[in-house]
Amino acid sequence: MKLLKSLLKSPFFVLGLSLLVLTVLLAVLGPLLLRVDVNTRVGLAYMPPSSSHWLGTDHLGMDMISLLIAGLRSSLYVGFLAGSVATVLGTLVGLYGGYKGGLIDDVLTVGTNLFLVIPSLIVLILLSASIENGRSLSLIALIIGCTTWTWSARAVRAQASSLRNRDHVALARINGYGTFGIVLLQIMPYLLSYIFMVFILQMATGILSEASLSMLGLGPYDSVSLGKILNEAKTNEALTDGAWWAFAPAMVLITVIVFALYIINTSLEGVFNPRLRK
């Protein structure tokens, strides 16, 4: 409760949370309030915003509002799924290595650092380029989750290893708790706030990674995403034709989501880390 109070006092947190809630509301309520149809042509290519189509049409004559809402839904979905996968993987590896120490820890750390150095975009490109059929939104999210978890493992490991010699952990060990019992019940509760921050950042990473892949033409075949809207606009000369409505709103949406997640993360850090509190 006290935590929530001090969070709500931080203007950054309030701003970030409201922006995030707004985009989620738009994604959830959008299809209920507006007619979202991404399969029918409603007009000519690149029609400017008008009263019937508030943000005009894209290069195929589809309604931009519909595309944006569908794209926003996919991007949030990818962020959530990829962020969850990455956080769970990273947390498990980090907690286990940090608690166990010794050889297992060394092996896990070396492995983590290895994949931390190899750019995840490169791994993503190589994997996605090899999947031609069935590159669905969910599959892309899973792939992103499995390639971006490394830094959260590193971050969680550092925290977990500082807790492994606490008295209550030793007590649990004496009482015959298994490794997973100790890791999940004795160590993880201390790191929940930290893991939540990791999840917020992993979500942002997931959304950005999907958009980057889509910019490369390696996006999902089954859904519209914000990155795909940008890629289509770029490859179909929206920039040179001056059709700003075909790309600017998607750009704003991605930036708003990522910005919201970033400032939520930094304000959480400010509250959880007393040294930064002022």
Partner 1 sequence: MLKNHPTIQHIVGRAGWYLVTFFVAITINFFLPRLGDANPVDTIMANVGAGLDSASAREKEEAYLKEFGLVEVDAGGKITRDAQGKPVRSSLASQFINYLSMSLRGDLGGSILQHPKRVSEIIKAALPWTLALQLPTIVFGWLLGNVLGALAAYKRGVFDKVMYPLALLASAIPAFCFGMLLVYVLGIRLEWFPAVGGYDDGLTPEMSWAFFQSASYYYVLPFLSVFLIVVGGQAIGMRSMCIYELGTDYVKYAKLLGIDESKIVFYMFRNAMLPQLTGLALALGTMVGGALITEMIFSYPGLGMAVLTAIQGNDYPLITGSTLLVTVCVLLANFSVDVMVGFLDPRIAAARQTSK
Calculate the alpha carbon distances from 29 to 73, 189, 224, 260 in Å: 11, 35, 17, 19
CB of 247 to partner 1, least distance (A): 6
Query: In this chain, which of 215, 221, 236, 272 binds partner 1, going by CB under 8 A?
Result: 215
Gap between the Cα atoms of 169 and 146, Å rounded: 30
- Name the residue nearer to partner 1 (CB basis): 84 or 266: 266
**DSSP bridge partners of 63:** 57
Residues between 7 and 26 that touch partner 1 (CB under 8 A)? 12
Contact of 219 with 225, CB cutoff 8 Å: yes
Residues 248-267 close enough to bind partner 1 by CB under 8 A: 248, 251, 254-255, 258-259, 262-263, 266
Residue 40 found at the interface with partner 1 (CB under 8 A): no
Non-local (6+) Cβ contacts of 176 within 8 A are none
Residues 6+ apart with CB under 8 A from 20: 257, 260, 261, 264
CB of 55 or CB of 182, closer to partner 1: 55
141 with 78: CB under 8 angstroms? yes
Q: Is 59 in the site for partner 1 (CB under 8 A)?
A: no
Q: Does 245 bind partner 1 (CB under 8 A)?
A: no
CA angle 222, 52, 232 (to 5 degrees): 35
Binding mask 67-106 for partner 1 (x = CB under 8 A): ----------------------------------------
Reading the block at residue 138, the tokens are: 């969910």
Binders in 115-144 for partner 1, by CB under 8 A: 116-123, 125-127, 129-134
Nearer to partner 1, 177 or 244 (CB): 244
Q: Is 239 in the site for partner 1 (CB under 8 A)?
A: yes
Structure letter (DSSP) for residue 244 = G
User: Which residue from 159, 193, 212, 236 is in contact with partner 1, where contact means CB under 8 A?
Assistant: 212
Q: Based on CB atoms, which residue is closest to partner 1, 187 or 264?
A: 264
- Give 179's contacts (C-beta < 8 A, 6+ positions apart): 96, 99, 100
Number of residues forming the site for partner 1 (CB under 8 A): 49
Helix axes 64-100, 226-235, angle to 10 degrees: 130
Does 208 sit near partner 1 (CB under 8 A)? Answer: yes
* DSSP codes joined into one string, 14-34: HHHHHHHHHHHHHHHHHHHHS
Does position 146 interact with partner 1 (CB under 8 A)? The reply is: no
- Which lies closer to partner 1 via its Cβ, residue 1 or residue 117? 117
Neighbours of 239 (CB within 10 A): 12
Residues lying near partner 1 in the complex (CB under 8 A) are found at 12, 110, 114, 116-123, 125-127, 129-134, 151, 204, 208, 211-212, 215-218, 230, 234, 239-240, 242, 244, 247-248, 251, 254-255, 258-259, 262-263, 266, 269, 275-276, 278
